[in-house]
């Protein structure tokens, strides 16, 4: 695949996973760092995310762990909590994943990520969550 | 103690230390991750914070160090700077604690935490601080 | 459950998941911080890990993401890569999970975690991995 | 130099590099931690930044790398992306520096820093950038 | 004070606090970055640590919190756990401080720091600790 | 370029920059995560590092800033301090870059990175450094 084809392939993967939220982040980079937008699409989604070695649901669990631990990634967590719902994780599973993270990266990071989940769930009419208490 | 008793005991500790600010964070978790709210109260406050091996003032100094170093914990710093005042740290001691952190985690983290302190101190009529310049 | 029962319950969970590697970490804490050892067992495993909302395989994927992102957690990664194998993740899935993390926390963290995986896999006769290239 | 002279010398360096954006951060510290403001000026700029061993352009490249990797430093990135422009880095070089960081600290940190660059570039009429795609 | 006097003053503070462990770190920098060694002594100890706004015991609690949260600071933790003992913190208080940190930065960081404490306490004949379980 | 050609191109870039130290890291990944090794070469070096928008010397300054700030990246710092020397940075400039980082990410991270530089410089007969005190 050439550069343009790699981009188009990555965009198909991104659309399936992140939907509009991911597209908005890429669009926001167009006038300041088009190459970063290209790499997010062509490399992160086209080369890496698309690999069949792990299914999307597993990838989102890992991604939630990484983003929660990093901290300061509210924008990206919003994209990936939407993505987590899109690939089949239930809201209660997502909340549990963030709760689980608290053991390893502490309460503040878990609280911050959970408040992003609250925003995403609320926007999709998924609050209050069920089966997680 | 059973689960409910552990929660109630932790809530008493939380109320003495964090007051309304801590309660608001726990309330905000109720519809998205009630178990995380439970663990903050029953475990973090009831099991850990309440231990007599260190007094509350010492615990807040450690907590300020951890939260400043982590970064991206403005919500939690607001709770714990209020708590630091509640357990007897003077505003000038809190500012000094954050200044001291700069040596070990750098100026940006210390500046960010200090701007949260400014917000908390301002809300409680404690600005300008005295004795710290 | 009382304190001792909570510990014993957590130890059963830990043994199923982490096996000897986890036990060694807890043992190493006995003379310096017995309460930290207690909390790892009774709280992290007994209260948190044992919750049925997510199965162990999912919890290990999240844990691998968190520990890789944190960095400097070679000791804990060794425990949890062993645990990941114990709960059914294939070596190639573990390597892929760490590769996936590179997108979100960068190449160095992913390389460091992968070198821990290499050590664990080697010790269990699982190198070279198959199906991941 | 005495304490006041060290401050005045540091302020001259800060004015050349950071301009108004740096001054605003120092001013915001005056009523909450005047000593932190003093140390930013007298030590960070007067003692450290002013050393001739590396020119300002090199120092800004390093600073962009550190602040991007730390995360949660949007306030400081805004100051230092302005500073980077002031000491001669082109917008396309700054975007490339943040893109380069993605390899080592991951896509989310690079995206966050790039969105701060977008804000700074926009405020100075420098969008869209040229020569970086 | 001139540059040399600031260094000598800082060295007196360092000797009181960190003793030989701190001196060894400064010595190790002499041939690779003498200015970093100078800044550790003259600025970190002479300008910052020596300020009377907080006593040494408080400063060590904050420092333990910061270093535990940062992770990857085993060398510095070894210096500062020694320092914590030197300024009057009991081994059981230090272990409790690290246990307390676990709430905010997670179990792995607390375990890693506690294993450094174990090494320091062992070297000074202070194991097993008493009064902390 | 196809996958193999991208790898070969990246390897040429890596050889020019990192030399043997980089090659050793890639080799160490071969049996545990060949795809991570491929991505380091083909993507990090072939796609990203090779871009002409910034010269190698600038890229190494940024990389030193990122790796110092991340912490726990001794393996990667060893590779990139060698690389920094290979692309024309003097030992005194590298030490100064790490000293500069201390302002933004604190003394411990700067000390740790400087001790890696000491190891690399020593191995290449470049100690004591000159012109940096």
pLDDT per position in chain C (133 positions), as tens? 889 999 999 999 999 998 888 889 899 999 999 999 999 999 999 999 999 999 999 999 999 999 999 999 999 999 999 999 999 999 999 999 999 999 999 999 999 999 999 999 999 999 999 864 4
- What was the pLDDT predicted at C133? 41
Name the neighbours of C, counting chains with at least 3 Cβ pairs within 8 A.
A, B, D, E, F
Contact D64, D101 (CB under 8 A): yes
Q: What is the length of chain B?
A: 133
Provide the 8-state DSSP code for E46.
I
Contact B104, F106 (CB under 8 A): yes
Contact F62, D64 (CB under 8 A): yes
Cis peptide leading into residue D42 (ω within 30°): no
Residues on chain C bordering chain A, Cβ-to-Cβ distance under 8 angstroms: 44, 48-49, 51, 53-54, 58-59, 61-70, 76, 92-93, 96-97, 99-105, 131-132
Task: Quote ipTM for the complex.
Answer: 0.95
pLDDT above 70 covers what percent of chain D?
98
Task: Show contacts of A13-20: CB within 8 Å, 24+ apart.
Answer: A13/A45, A13/A46, A13/A49, A13/A50, A14/A40, A14/A41, A14/A45, A14/A49, A16/A86, A17/A45, A17/A49, A17/A56, A17/A83, A17/A86, A17/A87, A18/A79, A18/A80, A18/A82, A18/A83, A18/A86, A19/A82, A19/A83, A19/A86
Q: Taking CB atoms and an 8 Å cutoff, what residues of chain E touch A106?
A: 102-106, 109
Cα-to-chain-centroid distance, residue A84: 6
Cis peptide leading into residue A128 (ω within 30°): yes
- pLDDT digit string, tens, across residues D55-110: 999 999 999 999 999 999 999 999 999 999 999 999 999 999 999 999 999 999 99
Both structure tokens of F64: 């030193």
Interchain CB distance below 8 Å, C118 and F71: no
Q: How many CB atoms lie within 10 A of CB A109?
A: 29
Rounded Cα gap, residues B127 and B95, in angstroms:
12
Please name the residue of chain A whose CA is at the shortest distance from the CA of residue C100: A48
Residue whose structure tokens are 């990484």: A66
Rounded Cα gap, residues B121 and D121, in angstroms:
34
Please name the residue of chain D whose CA is at the shortest distance from the CA of residue B120: D32
- What was the pLDDT predicted at A26? 92
Closest C-alpha among E80, E85, E79 to residue E24: E79
pLDDT along chain F (133 residues), means of 10: 93 90 91 97 96 97 98 96 96 98 98 98 96 50
- What was the pLDDT predicted at F18? 84
Contact C43, B43 (CB under 8 A): yes
Provide the 8-state DSSP code for B39.
H
Both structure tokens of C114: 């992968």
Q: Taking CB atoms and an 8 Å cutoff, what residues of chain B touch C43?
A: 43, 47
Contact C44, C67 (CB under 8 A): no
Contact D69, D36 (CB under 8 A): no
pTM (global) more than 0.95: yes
Sign of CA dihedral B94, B96, B100, B106: positive
């Amino acid at each position: 695949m050439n550069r343009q084809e790699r981009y188009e392939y990555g965009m198909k993967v991104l659309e399936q996973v992140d939907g509009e939220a991911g597209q908005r982040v890429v669009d926001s980079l167009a006038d300041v760092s088009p190459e970063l937008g290209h790499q997010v699409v062509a490399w992160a989604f086209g080369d890496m995310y698309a690999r069949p070695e792990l299914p999307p649901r597993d990838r989102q669990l890992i991604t939630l762990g990484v983003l929660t631990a990093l901290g300061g990634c509210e924008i990206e967590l919003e994209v990936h909590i939407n993505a987590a719902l899109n690939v089949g994780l239930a809201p209660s599973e997502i909340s549990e994943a963030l709760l689980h993270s608290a053991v390893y990266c502490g309460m503040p990071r878990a609280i911050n990520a959970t408040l992003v989940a609250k925003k995403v769930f609320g926007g999709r009419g998924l609050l209050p969550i069920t089966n997680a208490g």
